[in-house]
Amino acid sequence: MICGADTWVDIESYGLAKYEWLKKFLELPNGIPTHDTIARVFSRLKPEQFQKCFLSWIQSISCFNPGEVIAIDGKTLRHSYDGGADKKAIHMVSAWASSQKLVLGQVKVDKKSNEITAIPALLKVLELNGSIVTIDAMGCQRSIVKSIIEQGGDYAITLKNNQLSLYARVEALFKQAIRQGFSGFTHTAYSTQKENNHGRSEIRHHLMLSEIKELIDPDNQWEKLHSIGLIESVRIVNGKTTIETRYYISSLPNNAQKLGESVRSHWGIENSLHWVLDVGFREDDSRIRKDNAPQNFATIRHISLNLLNQEKTSKTGTKNKRLRAGWDDDYLTKILTASVN
C-alpha cells in the first residue's frame, strides 16, 4: 500500500517484483500468494482484532502534548457498496491527531445505525487525557460529551438545530450579550483575517462566553459545560460578501483564541486525511467490497498514511511519496522505520 498498490492484483504484482527484497524479512516458503488468496485473507480477518493491533501500534509510537486536538469525523467509502449482495457503502468514523497528522483509530458505522452510535465506540478505545476533542454537530450528544470528560479530555463541539432547545438558548444569549456590549458577561474575543490574490478574503470573529451554565443548562444535562462559542465568518469573493455564524459548546476555559485554533485544527481531518485518502490513495475509486475486506483495507490505508506522514525528509505530497517508495527500497526502509516526534 505504501508503494502505490491499491488493489489485490497490485499487491501480488508488487510482491513478485520485489520478491528478493521481501525475502530479507519474510520466509515465503511458497512464494508470493496470489491476489485471490490475499483477498480471501483480508475478507476473513476480524476487523475488531485488526483494530486492536492498530491501536497497540499507535500507542507505542505516539506521545502527545497537552492540548492535542483530536478531531472525530466520518467518511463514506463510496465504491464499497455491492448492489448484487444488497450491501451499502461502508461509512468509517476516524480519530485524527491534528498536530502530529496521525490516524488514532477508526470504527465502521453499523449499517442500521449512524455516527451517533459509532463515535462513543471509537472514543472508548482512545487515550484522551489532556486532549481537546472536536466533533461536528452530529456528535453533539450528552452521552458523547460525558464519555470525553470521563476519559480526561476536553471538548469543543459544533451546535446546530439537532439540539434545538440548547441551540435556541445559546443563540439568544449571544444576541443579548452583543446587544448589551457584553456588560455583565464574562467574555473573550479574537479575530483573524486571511487574504489571497484571487479577489478573496475572509475575516473570522471569535467570541466566547463563560459562567453561563445555569442560563443554558439549568438541569445540568451536559457534563462540564463551561463555555459557549460563536464564530462568524465574513467572506468576500469578487466583491460579494457572505456571512456564516456557527455556535459551539465547550468544556474549555474562556479563551476565544484557543477555541478558534481548535476549530481550525478540526478541519485538518478533512484536508489532511479524507482529501489525501481520496487523492493520494484513490480510496473513493476502490471496488474492494467482499465481507470484512473494505474495513480492513481502510485500516491498511490509515497505517500507510501514518507512516508516510512521519517521514519528513521528502517535501512532496503523499502520491509522490508512494511512487518514490515503490521505486527506491532505501526510501521505503526510511518510511517503515520513521518515528513519531
Q: Grid cell 473513493 — which residue?
A: 284
What are phi and psi for residue 323, nearest 5 degrees?
-60, -45
Q: 265-283 pLDDT, tens per residue?
A: 998 888 888 888 888 888 7
pLDDT value at residue 341:
45
| Amino acid letter for position 270 | E
Is 323 a domain residue? Answer: no
Residue 115 has pLDDT above 90, yes or no: no
Strands 132-135 and 69-76: parallel
Q: How far is CA 22 from the centre of its chain?
A: 32
Q: 74-84 pLDDT, tens per residue?
A: 887 665 555 55
User: Is residue 33 very low, low, confident or very high in pLDDT (cuts 50, 70, 90)?
Assistant: very high
Is 252 a domain residue? Answer: yes
Is 179 a domain residue? Answer: yes
pLDDT value at residue 211:
95
Is 335 a domain residue? Answer: no
How far apart CA 261 and CA 206 sit, in angstroms, is 10
DSSP state of 161: G
Provide the domain count of the chain.
Answer: 1
How far apart CA 5 and CA 29 sit, in angstroms, is 23
Is 35 a domain residue? Answer: no
Query: Please, what's the largest Cα pairwise distance for the chain?
Result: 78
Strands 154-159 and 240-250: antiparallel
What are phi and psi for residue 154, nearest 5 degrees?
-110, 170
Q: What is the CATH number of the domain that holds 259?
A: 3.90.350
Q: Grid cell 502527545 — which residue?
A: 64
pLDDT value at residue 337:
85
Asked whether the beta carbons of 246 and 228 are under 8 A apart, the reply is no
How many other β-carbons are positioned within 10 Å of the β-carbon of residue 180?
10
Is 188 a domain residue? Answer: yes
Q: 185-226 pLDDT, tens per residue?
A: 999 999 998 877 666 888 999 999 999 999 999 999 999 999
Cell of 328: 527506491
Is 297 a domain residue? Answer: yes
Is 21 a domain residue? Answer: no
Percent of the chain past pLDDT 90, that is, above it, reads 61
Task: Report the pLDDT averaged over residues 170-189.
Answer: 96
What's the pTM value of the predicted model, to 2 decimals?
A: 0.86
Residue 112 has pLDDT above 60, yes or no: no
pLDDT value at residue 100:
85
Cell of 97: 491527531
Cell of 282: 484513490
DSSP state of 222: S
- Which of 75-84, 117-126, 262-271, 298-307 is least confident? 75-84
Residue 57 has pLDDT above 70, yes or no: yes
Residue 5 has pLDDT above 90, yes or no: yes
Mean pLDDT of the residues in the chain: 89
What's the domain range around 152?
45-310
